Amino acid sequence: MSDFMSLFADLVGSLADLLEPVFQGSAMAAAIVLFTACVRLLVHPLSRASARGQKARAKLSPQIAELRKKHSKNPEKLQKAVLELHRAEKVSPLSGCLPSLFQLPAFFLLYHLFSNSRIGGEANALLGHKLFEAPLGGRWADALADGGVFGAQGLVYLGLFAIVAAVATFNFGRTKKQMAMAAPVTGGSDAQQVPGMGAITKVMPFMSFMTLFTVAFVPLAAALYVVTSTTWSAVERAVLYRDMPYGAAGASALATAG
């Protein structure tokens, strides 16, 4: 594991060296943003496949409505029929979570890389890099202790919080609108008959705001990954689901962090 982390540290360091003539002292932060973009490009085919799956699932809404009428007095039979319909049409009700799951290793790599003082038995030189005045290995609590909310480090976090809040507000409005438009079409059946979706439906409009807590408590390098990935996700979903006014609600919720 230590050899792999050393290799990954060298890779990120080399990328920062390439960007240093342009970004100078913030080259490592720029390298993390570029690394995140590369990860998202690799995951993009999964996002496109997820979008196709969600669109296929939306087309099943009339059939699900019929099943709901047919088995209105037998919830267990209705749930089984809905799941069988999904299997028959090769549609996964939770397909929207796959892109997020495949990004987790990259996030944990950065988290581990900027949380340890030693990598491969040597001092972790990456911890000396900064985004403006904020160390990439530091956390918001460190920034508060060194200058407070409006100190040099605190302002970096305020900027990240502002980006996350803007993206979360965009996702909140979009998801609420999609859910409102979905209700007359599906009669709420998807949320009721897919195991676990009822609870997800209740919290999905607020899931984007959870990213604020992540940014506040992880090392700044990992926070940069989260902010970049979340912003990418918002733009990506807006494009992939632009011709699908109501069917992306589930995907928006499941892919929010991603």
> Are the beta carbons of 98 and 50 closer than 8 angstroms?
yes
Q: Quote the domain boundaries for residue 49.
A: 2-60+94-254
In a domain, 15, yes or no: yes
Residue 84 lies in a domain: no
Mean pLDDT check: name the lowest of 15-19, 26-30, 95-99, 239-243: 95-99
Answer whether residue 107 is part of any domain.
yes
Neighbours of 96 (CB within 10 A): 25
Residue 186 domain-assigned (yes or no): yes
Q: Is residue 183 part of a domain?
A: yes
pLDDT tens profile 108-149: 999 999 999 888 788 898 998 999 999 999 999 999 999 999
pLDDT of residue 12: 92
Asked whether residue 69 is assigned to any structural domain, the reply reads no
Please provide the average confidence, as pLDDT, over all residues in the chain.
Answer: 81
User: What total number of domains does the chain contain?
Assistant: 1
In a domain, 245, yes or no: yes
pLDDT at 199: 55
- Alpha helices, DSSP H only, in the chain? 2-23, 27-59, 61-70, 75-88, 98-113, 140-145, 152-186, 189-193, 197-203, 211-217, 220-240, 249-254
How much is the pLDDT for 198? 53
The pTM of this model reads 0.79
How sure is the predictor about 187, in pLDDT bands with cuts at 50, 70 and 90?
very low
Question: Model confidence at 93, in pLDDT bands (50, 70, 90)?
Answer: low
Best-predicted range by mean pLDDT (62-66, 156-160, 165-169): 156-160
Tokens 């990439």 identify what position?
Answer: 136
Instruction: Name the pLDDT band for 194 (thresholds 50, 70, 90).
Output: very low
DSSP structure class, residue 119: E
The b-or-e profile of 49-64 (16+ CB within 10 A means b, else e) is: ebbebbbbbbebbeeb
Residue 18 lies in a domain: yes
